[in-house]
């Protein structure tokens, strides 16, 4: 069932600030199929959250969409599949038809995304009463069912409690239950586990995976944790300075990364077998997008940068059916550059470990 | 730098208890009888989930709280009792803290030079303005910031740079012990690596000891010489990094280690994290006492449990 549910084409967004225009998103394309999980990885400021906010139609007021379309395909009231360009619609229409109903979002910090003055039950039924024709009793019954589904015990009692009475992991479960309340087609998780502990993170990820499998919904995962990506994603987009620099199936990107930025990201994360004395760091910091970037945005931080990187932006080179990377190193005229030795060794180690699972 | 384990420990925490009385009938026992030692130049990592009491230990050690019972000896001085003026001065200069969130731990209305120089101002450790400026410039250079950053405000910095300011503020008093409370949790992966490298370099240079509090085990493994695993206020397992990671004994430690997601898709999708639930595990931490596993590796459990796990 390979129908595309979300199609982002050539998205380009700037923000008007007192210092000038900040060119946050510089041409992004990606597809999301039904039931699939896509991860978007990148440093803070790379534009991953902005992309998702655009998909939800909740961009800040000072955002200017320069070009692009975001086509979202869904079943409308009559049960017919149709698609809309989210960027064409106004906020009011989106609020009534899309937000919370067909696309819902789980935010990073469950303390700030829940209303501290409203009890859990009220927050859960709010969306259902607004978007569906359910009666209060039906909505309440469904809310209790949802709380049980996300693994909260004595749901009836929790319905009357307030967010501050719950632990961090519980709160995030409630946020997920709220996101699922109107049976959305697409769930966007913006760093859902960054504020949580590893043990709780593992449980929340399991929960999201289970819910996705049971309901067959699509999930977009925004994160900077490559370990989480490895666990959940089918498909990965690596973003840098408002562009996707490498994309592909999760196995392709992790076992055969081609972009120097992806090399850097993978190297910077200590795995439990690293014995080196120093952690690898990507030198420098991301470019200031107030100034127009000439050439490859990553070139100043790239030890493998070529002369052409300063002059012209690299196109997307296709490696396999799904695997693309935007770096001049893949051009046939480029010198042959191998990834750093340490990373090569580490990937080999990873592959050996993966072989144990018979893949 | 080789760490001398034969000499006097820099910090010795013995049977520390920290209780908070919430009401007449309810007391939160945040820390229940924790003992550990930190030697000069060493990094001791404290790991555990939120609510395990790791931050409370950090705060008790630097005496932001008055410990309920137990003793804390820092550099030969008992700092659990009421502090004399001299003790206080020693404690406030030789022990420093780096906090988790660099945005909320830096005063937004002060310039970086005043934030960093505040300790100098309070303890009058400079003779004139020029010397103060020089000290601040030196410390900025050490943490990888430029001298012109001194006259800027915290909001003008990125997250990683702000955390460098936090480190500079701790370093300027030439501390012997730095308590780093989740100091990299709020940063991006690539920035985390930069800050951790910086902390390692500084340790090489100054010989300061770290109490590194974190929940991210992969970073803790990377920076620590020894690790203590904390859960519900009890120190369940302690030992060198090698000992803990290659031979975890306690089921909680095992579950903690297996919860770390690795950047290896095929392995991750097949692996099932070990789960651990204190309530259903039948383990009572209060019954346990320290069992020696080998080297500096200790586990807190009862005799039967030890026989079963080891």
DSSP B165-181: HHHHHHHTT--SEEEEE
For B78-93, write each residue's pLDDT tens digit.
988 888 888 888 889 9
For A188-221, write each residue's pLDDT tens digit.
998 888 777 787 888 888 888 988 998 889 999 9
Cβ pair A272:B160 closer than 8 A: no
Please compute, for residue A251, the number of CA atoms within 13 A of its CA located in the half-sphere on the CB side.
8
Average pLDDT along chain A: 87
pLDDT at A44: 77
Contact of A99 with chain B, judged by CB distance below 8 Å, is answered with no
Which of B155, B195, B264 is the mutation pick for testing A, counting most A CBs within 10 A?
A: B264
Single out the residue of B267, B234, B280, B262 nearest to residue B46, CA to CA: B234
Average pLDDT along chain B: 88
Contact of B245 with chain A, judged by CB distance below 8 Å, is answered with yes
Contacts of A264 in chain B (CB under 8 A): 190
Would you tell me how many other CB atoms lie within 10 Å of the CB of residue B7?
Answer: 9
Which of A112, A198, A345 is the mutation pick for testing B, counting most B CBs within 10 A?
A: A198
Find the CB nearest B193 among A197, A280, A350. Answer: A280
Domains along chain B with CATH numbers: 11-309 (3.40.50.300)
Same fold, A36-56+91-233 and A239-355: yes
Distance from CA of B240 to the nearest CA of A (A): 15
For B52-62, write each residue's pLDDT tens digit.
888 899 999 99
Q: What distance in Å separates the CA atoms of residue B168 and residue B136, rounded to the nearest whole number?
A: 9
Contact of A65 with chain B, judged by CB distance below 8 Å, is answered with no
Q: Is the pLDDT of residue A290 over 90?
A: no
pLDDT at A272: 63
Pick A239-355's CATH classification: 1.10.730.10, 3.40.50.300, 3.40.50.10860, 3.40.50.150.
3.40.50.300
For A136-175, write each residue's pLDDT tens digit.
999 999 999 999 888 888 889 999 999 988 888 888 889 9
Q: Which residues contact A153 (CB under 8 A, 6 or more apart)?
A: none
Q: Tally C-beta pairs within 8 A across A and B.
A: 125
Helices (H), A27-135: 48-56, 91-97, 110-113, 120-131
Contacts of B50 in chain A (CB under 8 A): 167-168, 197
Q: What distance in Å separates the CA atoms of residue B194 and residue B188, rounded to the nearest whole number?
A: 10
List C-alpha distances in Å: A180 to A102, A155, A184.
10, 16, 6
Cβ pair B216:A251 closer than 8 A: no
Quick check: B55 and B104 in contact, CB under 8 A? Answer: no
- What φ, ψ does residue B51 adopt, rounded to 5°? 85, 5
Domain A36-56+91-233 has CATH 3.40.250.10: no
Cβ pair A354:B264 closer than 8 A: yes
3-state secondary structure of A38: strand
Q: Is the pLDDT of residue A1 over 50?
A: no
Contact of A250 with chain B, judged by CB distance below 8 Å, is answered with yes
- What φ, ψ does residue A4 adopt, rounded to 5°? -80, 130
Listed by start position, the domains of chain A span 36-56+91-233, 239-355
Label residue A122 exposed, middle or buried (CB < 10 Å: 0-12, 13-18, 19+).
middle
- Confidence tier at A289 by pLDDT (50, 70, 90): confident
Which of A240, A280, A281 is the mutation pick for testing B, counting most B CBs within 10 A?
A: A281
For B254-271, write each residue's pLDDT tens digit.
888 888 888 888 888 887
Q: Is the pLDDT of residue B42 over 90?
A: yes
Complex ipTM over 0.90: no
Quick check: B230 and B52 in contact, CB under 8 A? Answer: yes
Q: What distance in Å separates the CA atoms of residue B34 and residue B13, rounded to the nearest whole number?
A: 7
3-state secondary structure of A216: coil
Cα-Cα end-to-end distance for chain A: 24
- Burial letters B175-191, b for 16+ CB under 10 A, else e: bbbbbbbbbbbbbbbbb
Contacts of B160 in chain A (CB under 8 A): 285
Which of B155, B265, B276 is the mutation pick for testing A, counting most A CBs within 10 A?
A: B265
3-state secondary structure of A94: helix
Contacts of A205 in chain B (CB under 8 A): 261
Cβ pair A201:B255 closer than 8 A: no
Contact of A168 with chain B, judged by CB distance below 8 Å, is answered with yes
List C-alpha distances in Å: A170 to A132, A166, A196, B77, B296.
26, 6, 10, 43, 37
């Amino acid at each position: 069932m390979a129908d595309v549910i979300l199609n982002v084409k050539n998205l380009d967004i700037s923000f008007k600030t007192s210092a000038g225009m900040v060119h946050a998103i510089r041409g992004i394309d990606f597809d999301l199929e039904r039931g699939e999980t896509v991860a978007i990885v990148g440093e803070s400021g790379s534009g991953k959250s902005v992309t998702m906010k655009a998909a939800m139609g909740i961009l800040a007021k000072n955002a200017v969409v320069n070009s692009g379309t975001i086509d979202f395909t869904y079943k409308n009231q009559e049960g017919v599949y149709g698609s809309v360009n989210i960027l064409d619609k106004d906020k009011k229409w989106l609020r009534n038809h899309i937000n919370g109903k067909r696309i819902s979002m789980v935010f990073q910090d469950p303390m700030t995304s829940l209303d501290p003055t409203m009890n859990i039950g009220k927050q859960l039924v709010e969306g259902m009463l607004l978007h569906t024709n359910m009666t209060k009793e039906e909505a309440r019954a469904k809310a209790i069912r949802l709380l049980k589904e996300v693994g909260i015990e004595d749901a009836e009692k929790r319905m009357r409690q307030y967010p501050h009475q719950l632990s961090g992991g519980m709160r995030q479960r409630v946020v997920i239950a709220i996101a699922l309340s109107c049976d959305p087609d697409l769930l966007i998780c913006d760093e859902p586990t960054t504020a949580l502990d590893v043990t709780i993170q593992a449980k929340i990820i399991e929960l999201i995976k289970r819910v996705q499998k049971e309901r067959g919904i699509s999930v977009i995962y925004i994160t900077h944790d490559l370990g989480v990506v490895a666990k959940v994603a089918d498909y990965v987009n690596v973003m840098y300075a408002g562009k996707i620099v490498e994309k592909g199936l999760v196995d392709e990107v992790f076992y055969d990364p081609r972009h120097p930025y992806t090399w850097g990201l993978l190297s910077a994360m200590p795995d439990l077998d690293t014995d080196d004395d120093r952690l690898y760091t990507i030198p420098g910091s991301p470019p200031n997008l107030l100034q127009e970037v000439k050439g490859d945005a990553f070139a100043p931080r790239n030890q493998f940068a070529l002369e052409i990187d300063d002059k012209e932006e690299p196109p997307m080179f296709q490696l396999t059916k799904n695997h693309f990377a935007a770096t001049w190193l893949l051009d046939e005229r480029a010198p042959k550059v191998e990834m750093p030795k340490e990373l090569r060794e580490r990937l080999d180690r990873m592959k050996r470990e993966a072989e144990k699972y018979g893949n | 730098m080789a760490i001398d384990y034969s000499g006097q420990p820099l910090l010795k925490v013995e049977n520390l208890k920290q209780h908070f009385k919430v009401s007449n009938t309810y007391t939160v026992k945040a820390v229940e009888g924790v003992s550990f030692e930190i030697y000069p130049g060493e990094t001791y990592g404290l790991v555990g989930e939120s609510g395990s009491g790791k931050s409370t230990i950090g705060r008790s050690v630097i005496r932001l709280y008055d410990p309920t019972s137990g003793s804390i000896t820092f550099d030969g001085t008992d700092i659990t009792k009421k502090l004399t003026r001299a003790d206080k001065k020693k404690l406030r200069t030789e022990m420093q803290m780096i906090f988790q969130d660099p945005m909320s731990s830096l005063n937004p209305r002060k310039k970086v030079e005043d934030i960093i120089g505040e300790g100098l101002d309070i303890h009058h450790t400079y003779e004139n303005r020029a010397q103060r400026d020089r000290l601040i410039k030196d410390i900025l250079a050490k943490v990888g910031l430029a001298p012109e950053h001194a006259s800027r405000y915290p909001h003008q910095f990125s997250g990683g740079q702000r955390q460098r300011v936090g480190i500079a503020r701790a370093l300027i008093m030439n501390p012997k012990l730095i308590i780093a409370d989740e100091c990299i949790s709020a940063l991006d992966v690539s920035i985390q690596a930069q800050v951790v490298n910086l902390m390692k370099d500084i340790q090489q240079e100054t010989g300061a000891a770290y109490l590194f509090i974190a929940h991210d085990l992969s970073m803790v493994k990377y920076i620590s010489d020894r690790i203590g695993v904390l859960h519900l206020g009890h120190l369940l397992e302690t030992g060198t990094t090698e000992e803990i990671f290659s031979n975890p004994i306690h089921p909680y430690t095992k579950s903690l280690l297996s919860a770390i997601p690795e950047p290896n898709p095929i392995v991750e999708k097949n692996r099932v994290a070990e789960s651990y639930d204190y309530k259903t595990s039948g383990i009572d931490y209060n019954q346990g006492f320290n069992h020696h596993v080998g080297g500096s590796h200790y586990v807190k459990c009862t005799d039967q449990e030890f026989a079963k796990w080891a």
